[in-house]
Amino acid sequence: MTLSEQYILIRKQTERICAPLQTEDYVVQPVVDVSPPKWHLGHTTWFFEAFVLVPSFAGYQMFNPNFNYLFNSYYETVGNRVIRTDRGNLSRPGVDEIYRYRTHVDNAMLLFLQGEVNGHVEELLFIGFNHEQQHQELLLTDIKYILGHNPLFPPYRQIEKKGPKNRKEIAEMRLVPEGMYEIGYTGDGFCFDNELSRHKVYLQAFSISSALVSNGEYLQFMSAGGYTDFNFWHSEGWDWVRNNDISAPMYWHHIDGDWYCYTLEGLRPLDPDAVLTHVSYYEAYAFAQWRGMRLPTEFEWEAAAGLFDWGARWEWTESAYLPYPGFSKAPGAIGEYNGKFMVNQKVLRGGSIATAAGHSRNTYRNFFHPQLRWQFTGIRLVK
């Protein structure tokens, strides 16, 4: 597949994700972690404009120079930006103008890609492709949050597209022997800098579950007083439960004595056999404590990844998000992509039903703060 074909394929997929939205849906920002869909459309377009077209395509005319301020996310090197909490205040530019911006940049990119592309620019293109795929996942999870916190619980669309079809397999504990294991990306394809460099770790023997935790299993934890017994929780997690009145996973609703769950298809009765999702690290840790087990480290997860199916949920690990031995940030703005976030976050492994096809791999290191749960997160146990 040519660079132009890859570019078109990825850009069109972003717009397909937004196709079911009404105009009003594009602007909503209920909480700081959720960005308006309109902003995602603009930001992913700005990335190609700022990092490819402006520095490398002679004669390129920016669509609107002010968009650098509106759609820069966190790149200090590139200049000032709208703070994250204010993205929902951007009633202008309108949705139609954002799509015109995408068309302007797409047309320029396709012209640019007709010429010879040097190695440095090609590297930027692949970062841009993967960056947009990351935002496709964020788009879907942000849309779910926006619609799932609407009191009418409107459906997004019929979408459950991949992963185990919500049916939990019988869990088996699979033994991984002690020994030295190599961790990190190897190969000639694309990876993010936080997956490098490959290195050895020593692991004690452990057993890991072949299946993710189900809704039914988590209901047992809740029925046993999981949210009311401090013994299962970190001190910080217990404070989070009490300060935020947490008593169930995100999108669960107790209505007339029965549990319901908001899905991308709307509000549905809770399926006890479905794979659990939308839990924080704090909840994952507490559940594991209640079961007399623990969460895997990211190194255990990677070493064992060939023993189970993965990709249905981002799986919390017990590992802090830290650099691998020999990690170094790239110069300039691209060096801000991962390295500066390596503090106070937990690593998640795998992928989810919202992850773009072919985007994840067993060395992929996702990372979030421990209280966050709007992503499609789940639990795999170890002992």
Q: How confident is the model at residue 340, as a pLDDT?
A: 82
The pLDDT value recorded for residue 163 is 45
The pLDDT tens digits for 192-238 are 999 998 999 999 999 999 999 999 999 999 999 999 999 999 999 99
CATH code of the region 173-378: 3.90.1580.10
- Which distant-in-sequence residues (6+ apart) come within 8 Å of 225 by Cβ? none
Domain ranges of the chain: 3-148, 173-378
Indicate the pairing of strand 206-209 with strand 199-203.
unpaired
75-95 confidence digits (pLDDT tens): 776 778 888 888 998 889 999
Residue 78 and residue 72 in contact, taking contact as beta carbons nearer than 8 Å = yes
Contact indicator for 269, 258 with CB cutoff of 8 Å: yes
Instruction: List all residues 6 or more positions away from 289 whose beta carbon is below 8 Å from its beta carbon.
Output: 231, 232, 233
Q: Which of 81, 78, 46, 47 is nearest to 333 (CA)?
A: 78
- The pTM of the full predicted model, rounded to 2 decimals, is 0.93
In this structure, what are the phi and psi dihedrals at residue 108, rounded to the nearest 5 degrees? -65, -40
Query: Tens digits of per-residue pLDDT, 228-276?
Result: 999 999 999 999 999 999 999 999 999 999 999 999 999 999 999 999 9
Position 164 scores a pLDDT of: 47
DSSP 130-195: HHHHHHHHHHHHHHHHHHHTSTT-----S---SSS-S-PPPP-EEEE-SEEEEES--SSS---GGG
For residue 295, what are its two tokens? 């969460």
Q: What's the pLDDT at 336?
A: 64
* 129 neighbors 277 (Cβ within 8 angstroms): no
- 155 touches 264 (CB < 8 A): yes
Instruction: Please give the Cα distance from 208 to 16 (Å, whole number).
Output: 37
Q: How far is CA 27 from CA 92, 132, 206, 232, 365, in A?
A: 9, 19, 47, 39, 30
Q: Which of 356, 123, 167, 191 is nearest to 272 (CA)?
A: 167
Where the chain has pLDDT below 50, the residues are 161-165
